[in-house]
Structure 1
Amino acid sequence: MSARTVGFVGLGIMGVPMATNLVNAGVDVVVWARTPGPVAELVAAGARAADDLPGLFDAAETVILMLRDEAAVDAVLGRGTDEFVRRVRAHTIVGMGTFTTAYSRGLAVEIGDCGGRYVEAPVSGSRGPATQGTLVAMLAGDDEAIEQVEPLIDAMCAQRFRCGPVPAALSMKLAVNTFLITMVTGLAETFHFAAQTGADTEVLRAVLESGPMASVVSRGKALKLTDGDLAPQAAIADVLRNARLIEDAAVATGTAHPLIRVSRELYQEAVEGGHGAIDMIGVITVLEARTRSTRDSARFTRGGFAE
């Protein structure tokens, strides 16, 4: 096992560009995935492929996990089996996905009890920033472990912030996602309102981009709307999962959350309507469907609609 070799598991929509940036930074990266396509892409970029998960943990002292959910993390680490101790002992496990704070806290304790170290490192950003290396990382864990992985984080992210002990980074990530989800939902409603009331959406985009509310996210999502481009940067199904995590945390702490509740309902409706794979700004399809339904079920009267 080499301290200079880094394992990377989770070669999805963000994992592939993140791992590629590590390779491009000169890091010796070994990867593994259930499907061969992403592995072949990383090998072509300069990474090495592990034959299996035990081989990856044998090769790398630090293992980065960019996995979708808790079940995937447990499966990769062999949690609940004899493999768990072997895979985490003398390893630094870096969890870059978004999970519940209770799960992360428990995982950190178990890894520590087995002689390993755990660093929370969720990131803010989607596929675009992942490709450009402009993600923002939030870090939590033991200071020494964080210092060890910060050079790796710097290869994938433009900025990083230490948040405290586990699970402080995930608490921060959920707060950041609250802003992201409600902002993008509001942007979708803004464009829907404009389109339905006769405003030119191209002009609307120009106005928003020129004003104080403009941001990288708002510019990118507004452009996707005017271009009719719903290819996923952050898929609706993933956004729904994050909205549920936020809502669950809010309920558990007795925290008011009216905006995230409404947003979660809209993204859930989008998934139920078969739109889970499109970009999150595609939540506008739910608003369009609701408007059609309202108009279909209402009697038109002068000046508006009435039941």
Structure 2
Amino acid sequence: MTSVSERPGGEPGEEIGFVGLGVMGQPMALNLAKSGTRLVVWNRSAAAADPLREASAAVAASAEEVFARTRVVILMLVNETVLDEVLQRGTPGFAKLVAGHVVVSMGSNSPGYSRGLAADILAAGGRYVEAPVSGSRKPAETAQLVAMLGGDPETVAEVRPLLAPMCRETILCGPIGNALLMKLTVNLYLCTMLAGLAEAAHFAERNGLDLTTFQAAIDSGPMASDLTRVKIPKLIARDFSVQAATADAFNSTNMIAQAAHAAGMASPVLDLCRTLYGESVDLGNGRLDMMSVIAAIEARTSALDRS
């Protein structure tokens, strides 16, 4: 594990592309722009680019313009379907877009998908690094993300310094696929931990305990962390404004379950949590914070009360 504080990578003064200005991408790109990185950005919803324009980034009219103006392009896109659409994968436009470029995907996709994308980009004359990040919107805003890097060593070494304005740490994980496997490993712990935290808060409340006292007990003990200090107040306030979306947590648990199945291993705790996140999505909480998983637990309790 290595802290990164060196100068940005790439050629001196080189413009860097950034595509995808959503919940995570916008604050990440803002940190790059504020660090002095010359950015060319694009987002499907144009309004999301306004803060970047105010931070002196150039706002492109299309993803094609981003690729035309830059050599290194960072992608922070919601899923594989959108990534393929933006890259025009499967069409003649794909090779024209990626040839001669370094494509850096910082979203969470399946390892198998990433390996296939890397092979296609290489065949088209480009290079590829997977760099998924651990952290939600608040760490993205404060440049406290942790990036996991996968790819050929030379390209990873070129890309790594670029991430310094966004990430507190970078971790080298080896070849393509390994960084995303590491991200899934981290997310397995995250998703099960937060589901357990939600159930503990529900248990405390149903037994008539004060949740601020519950927070004090956690904060004073060995389980305290930056995450609990952020998430328990959200549970107390019933504030499910999104930091990491429930739908994204559900998709992540699905990818973890698929990877576990491919490895021939059991994942009993993960499987139950995956069901709970899915139930919360079904309740209409997909774009709320993943702590809305408590709603699925409460719904199960309500069903018991009625029986």
Tell me the TM-score range normalised by the shorter chain: over 0.9
**Structure 1 counterpart SS, 2:15:** strand
Contact map agreement 1:266 1:283 (CA 8 A) in 2:
yes
Q: TM-score, normalised by structure 2?
A: 0.94
Residue 214 (str. 1) matches residue 224 (str. 2) = yes
Provide the C-alpha distance between the structure 2 equivalents of 1:178 and 1:79, rounded to a whole number of angstroms: 30
8 Å Cα contact 1:3/1:62 also seen in 2: no
2:199 aligns to what?
189
Superposed displacement of residue 2, structure 1? 9.7
1:255 Cα offset (Å): 1.3
- 1:304 equivalent in structure 2: none
Q: Which one of 256, 267, 270 corresponds to residue 246 of structure 1?
A: 256
Q: Are positions 1:107 and 2:117 aligned together?
A: yes
Deviation for aligned residue 1:228: 2.1
Query: 1:201 is matched with which residue?
Result: 211
CA distance in 1, matches of 2:170, 2:63: 29
- 1:126 matches 2:136: yes
Amino acid at match of 1:293: A
2:157 to 142, 147, 155: 147
- Percent identity of paired positions between Structure 1 and Structure 2: 46
- Runs of 4+, deviation exceeding 2 Å: none
Match of 1:37 in 2: 47
SS of 2:164's equivalent in the other structure is helix
Q: Tell me if the contact between 2:246 and 2:290 (Cα under 8 Å) persists in the aligned partners.
A: yes
| 2:171 aligned to which of 161, 178, 181 | 161
Structure 1 alignment gaps of length 5 or more = 298-307
Q: CA deviation at 1:169?
A: 0.2
Q: Secondary structure at the match of 2:222?
A: coil
Assess, with a 3 A threshold, how the Cα gap between structure 1 residues 3 and 147 changes in structure 2: closer, same or farther: farther
Alignment check: 8 A CA contact 2:13 2:38 kept: no
Q: Which residue of 2 aligns with 1:77?
A: 87
Contact 1:78-1:84 at 8 Å conserved across structures: yes
Which residue of structure 2 lines up, in the alignment, with residue 277 of structure 1?
Answer: 287
How far residue 23 of structure 1 moved from its aligned partner, in angstroms, is 0.3
Distance 2:215 2:61 in 1: 49
- Asked if 1 retains the 8 angstrom alpha-carbon contact of 2:20 and 2:44, the reply is no
CA distance in 2 between partners of 1:146 and 1:24 (Å): 23
Does residue 138 of structure 1 match 2:148?
Answer: yes
Aligned residue pair count: 297
Give secondary structure in 1 for the equivalent of 2:108: coil
Instruction: Show the 5 A alignment for 1:216-231.
Output: 216-231=226-241
3-state SS in 1 of match to 2:150: strand
Paired with 1:155 and 1:145, the residues of 2 have a C-alpha distance of 19
SS of structure 2 residue aligned to 1:43: helix
Partners of 2:132 and 2:195 in 1: CA distance: 22
Provide the residue aligned with 2:5 in structure 1.
none
SS of residue matched to 2:71: strand
Q: Report deviation, 1:141.
A: 0.4
TM superposition shift of 1:3: 7.7
SS of corresponding position for 1:138:
strand
Q: Which has the higher strand share?
A: 1
Q: Work out which structure has the larger RCO, using CA pairs closer than 8 Å and 6 or more positions apart in sequence.
A: 2
Question: CA RMSD for the aligned pairs?
Answer: 1.3
Confirm or deny that 1:88 pairs with 2:98.
yes
Shift of 1:245: 0.6
Using the size of structure 1 for normalisation, the TM-score is 0.94
Q: Equivalents in 1 of 2:126, 2:46: separation in Å? A: 29
Largest Rg, 1 or 2: 1
CA distance in 2, matches of 1:273, 1:101: 29
SS at match of 1:164: coil
Name the aligned partner's letter for residue 251 of structure 2: R
